[in-house]
Amino acid sequence: MPRSIIIFGSINLDLVARVPRLPSPGETLSGSSFSTVPGGKGANQAVGVAKLGGSSRMIGRVGEDAFGAELLKSLRDSGVQTDLITVDRASSGVALIAVDDRGENQIIVIPGANGNVDHSDVARLQSVLTHSSILLLQLEIPLAIVKSAASVAAAIGATIILDPAPAPAHFPADLYERVDILTPNAVETAQLVGFPIQSESDIDRAAAVLQHKGAKAIIIKLGAQGAFCATETDRFFIPAFSVNAIDTVAAGDAFNAGLAVALSEGLELRDAIVWGSAAGALSTTKSGVQSSLSDRATVEAFLNRQKP
């Protein structure tokens, strides 16, 4: 039986307007198109897990508005279990995004219901976690609640994978030691350790710093360069797959989803990182966010083609 995967985090709707140029203060502009795109790092990872055939259950909050209903439907349609998602009296979490003809953008993020995730949601998490669960956390809900979720999961003995994105100004020192696998990208790594990541020795040193802070394993996601992993007993690098990348949005979420699904099926960490890397690489070959996440057959066929 594969282990269950529980995702505790953010659910957002991106409202995207295309405009010839970004408006000045006080100006009204005519745009050329409008679209709604489901997102939020929690929801992206939940959809990624479900598409890869993992058991995916999401805990979080949407608003009591039309967006909330749309977000719940899109999660369900992707195969995510949504029974523990709360409908909150706040608005749904949204990002208002204007993109101009040069690709420049202006973004306003309103956490809405995501900002109201609280200890009652942690209690819901506690009611379904077992020592064999894998818990995926990110940092788009209140940090104190992420800490509390990690404490509960650590006490139960679940495996905790924390994506420290977006990196907070102050990462709580006692959160590190509760994390089994910390998965920052290069920018987040630099923010966490306080020095830039420009060379292989920076990567190695940063991983050592994060291990020293208490995380059991660190995977530093390095985009087209691949991923570096440090555990108590091992340090290794998994190169990225060579693909024709057109849109790298959500590559990190695809990676974490692939990693979790592979671990849930009993793969060793190194092989699970290869799975995550394949899911990450494939997500860059399509535009979009959740729509760019691959299904299991696509990842398996891709991995088979890579074998000599």
Pair 121, 61: CB distance under 8 Å: yes
**Rounded to the nearest whole angstrom, what is the least distance from the CB of residue 238 to ligand ADP in the complex?**
7
Catalytic residue among 65, 204, 253, 295: 253
**Rounded to the nearest whole angstrom, what is the least distance from the CB of residue 67 to ligand ADP in the complex?**
24
The single residue listed with the structure tokens 């997500």 is 283
Pair 39, 12: CB distance under 8 Å: yes
**Rounded to the nearest whole angstrom, what is the least distance from the CB of residue 105 to ligand ADP in the complex?**
17
Residue 253 to residues 130, 154, 202, 248, Cα–Cα distance (Å): 23, 22, 24, 10
Q: Toward ligand ADP, which CB reaches closer, 211 or 284? A: 284
Q: Toward ligand ADP, which CB reaches closer, 93 or 252? A: 252
CA-CA-CA-CA dihedral for 266, 153, 11, 85, to nearest 10: 100
Kind and range of the H or E run holding 263: helix 251-264
Strand, helix or coil for residue 188 = helix
Q: Toward ligand ADP, which CB reaches closer, 150 or 227? A: 227
**Rounded to the nearest whole angstrom, what is the least distance from the CB of residue 185 to ligand ADP in the complex?**
4
- Given the rule CB under 6 A, which residues bind ligand ADP? 185, 221-224, 226-227, 240-241, 243, 245, 248, 251-252, 255, 277, 280-281, 284
Q: Toward ligand ADP, which CB reaches closer, 18 or 296? A: 296
Amino acid identity of residue 231, one-letter, is T
Query: Is 77 among the residues known to form the active site?
Result: no
Report how far residue 35's alpha carbon sits from residue 196's, in angstroms, rounded to the nearest whole number: 36
Question: Looking at the annotation, which residues are catalytic?
Answer: 253
